[in-house]
Structure 1
Amino acid sequence: MNCKAVVFDMDGVILDSEQLVVKSWQKTADKYGIEDIESFCMAALGLNREAAKKLFVQMYKGRCGEGQDTLDEERYESLKVEMAAEFHRAAAEGELVLKPGVTDMLKMLRDNCIPCALATSTRKEVVTMELINLGVIDYFDKLVCGDMVDRSKPAPDIFLKACEELGVESESAWAVEDSYNGVRAAYAAGMKIAMIPDLVQPDDEMRDKADFIFKNMNEFQEYILESIRA
């Protein structure tokens, strides 16, 4: 398959961040007696802030935390602030790292003049800070973030915008994703899809929608290199 561009998701694909997010949410939820927060974390993979908030209220509707706090949108926002503070504390202590093989993959794309972009539901302010801190921001030709599009994944908007920014047709670009919502978004955008599972393993829907499922970034890099040499 001809590769005109590659568009990466960030959390769980570029950054080994999703387990740290779950850990930070669990620590925050335990503090207030909120049960089964991991189910929310799994369902929220790939969603932007607003979509995740709506999902939280939907999942916890009519339920209360310790002290009988109603788990509504306002409560979600305060919990999210605490979770984010815990996440950034852990990140500052070195717990946020790149996924294995990412730097080599990005260097290979640059060496072969294949443009790449990031399409992430995370806000641009956070994305920029994390990519700078980990030394990879300059590898990306474009950053398209959750606060730059109207509709969250699984809608295709963020991938379509990334392809538009790169100046390529979506059908000629690869999307690299780990989440169900991300794969659905890339599929709706008409892209070629490489799924590299992180916290969740592919089900029948994912195996149907993804063109390939790779064990890790190194396998995807080898595939792209072989297609270049062919």
Structure 2
Amino acid sequence: MALPRPPAAVVFDMDGLLFDTEALYREAAMTVAASRGHDLPEALFLSLVGRPWTANRAALLDHFGAGFAIDAFQADWIRQFDTIVDGRLALKPGVLRLLDTLDALRLPRAIATSSHHSDVRRNLAAHGLAGRFDAVVAHGDYARGKPAPDPFLHAAARLGVAPEHCLALEDSHNGVRSAAAAGMAVVMVPDLLAPTAEMHGLCTLVAPDLEQVCDLLLAASAAPVGRTSGTLPPPARLGGTVQS
């Protein structure tokens, strides 16, 4: 298992990839649904992972019915998540080693997420990672959310690197679809969703965790020149910003 060439930049998803939050979102959603006398099937929740709220709102109304108090449900879901995430926000294995490796390789990196900027700031601050990313693309920064390519295209533009020279790291099916549609090489690191035949077709690789991604990047950076022809050199990083 190897990357076809070393990337010039790396774009991360956030929930389920950097932070172990998807299981907490599931716990919060099912708790709130039960408190309202509803059952939220596991399959339905999993179909919501990696999608913007507009799409998820429609899916929940389709399941629960047009009379379902969707806005109140969303508000309670967010409050319940905010309650349980405090003190339980864990990094996914390999995050710190991978960020240290990107520093050593001088590779710029961004986050492309469906979550809000406030969520990104909270999560990064909780683990002292606020200065470890060159750009953050979040809800409100793009017209179309995942699985459309917009979040990843915006991230590449913020980094000043062509999408085809970026490596995208994703855990969700819709995130993989988004990154692949943007023209990026994609490594899926599964969280709640197992890779399907479609995912294997869209991804360059499927890795068990970010430790493996770290090893892949180190191996690609050490590859002979003949194996990496056509790769753009990493943009220079000065003072935490990317100079293109």
Match of 2:12 in 1: 8
After superposition, give the CA deviation of every residue in 1:136-168 in whole Å (9 maximum; x if it has no partner): 121110000022111010000000000000000
Match of 2:119 in 1: 126
Q: Is residue 117–residue 166 contact of structure 1 (8 Å, CA) maintained in 2?
A: yes
> Aligned with 2:15: secondary structure?
coil
Match of 1:52 in 2: 56
Q: Is residue 103–residue 136 contact of structure 1 (8 Å, CA) maintained in 2?
A: no
In structure 2, give the amino acid aligned to 1:23: E
Unaligned runs of 5+ in 2: 224-244
Match of 1:76 in 2: 70
Match of 2:198 among 205, 209, 221: 205
Match of 1:17 in 2: 21
Q: C-alpha separation between the residues in 1 aligned to 2:170 and 2:189? A: 6
> Aligned with 1:139: secondary structure?
coil
Q: C-alpha separation between the residues in 1 aligned to 2:55 and 2:221? A: 38
Q: C-alpha separation between the residues in 1 aligned to 2:41 and 2:133? A: 33
For residues 36-115 of structure 1, the aligned pairs below 5 Å read: 36-61=40-65, 70-71=67-68, 75-92=69-86, 94-115=87-108
Q: C-alpha separation between the residues in 2 aligned to 1:78 and 1:134? A: 31
1:143 and 2:136 aligned = yes
In structure 2, give the amino acid aligned to 1:193: V
Percent identical:
33
Q: Is residue 107–residue 139 contact of structure 1 (8 Å, CA) maintained in 2?
A: no
State the TM-score, normalized to the length of structure 2: 0.87
Unaligned runs of 5+ in 1: 63-69
For residues 184-203 of structure 1, the aligned pairs below 5 Å read: 184-203=177-196
User: Please, what is the CA RMSD of the aligned residues?
Assistant: 1.2
Q: C-alpha separation between the residues in 1 aligned to 2:100 and 2:75? A: 35
Q: C-alpha separation between the residues in 1 aligned to 2:15 and 2:138? A: 12
Q: C-alpha separation between the residues in 2 aligned to 1:201 and 1:33? A: 29
Q: When you count helix as a share of all residues, which structure comes out higher?
A: 1
Match of 2:39 among 35, 39, 47: 35
- Higher relative contact order at CA 8 Å, sep ≥6: structure 1 or structure 2? 2
Q: C-alpha separation between the residues in 2 aligned to 1:204 and 1:109? A: 30
After superposition, give the CA deviation of every residue in 1:74-112 in whole Å (9 maximum; x if it has no partner): x222112111111111121x2111101101111110121
Aligned residues: 219
- Would you identify which runs of 4 or more consecutive aligned residues in structure 1 move more than 2 Å? 36-40, 58-62
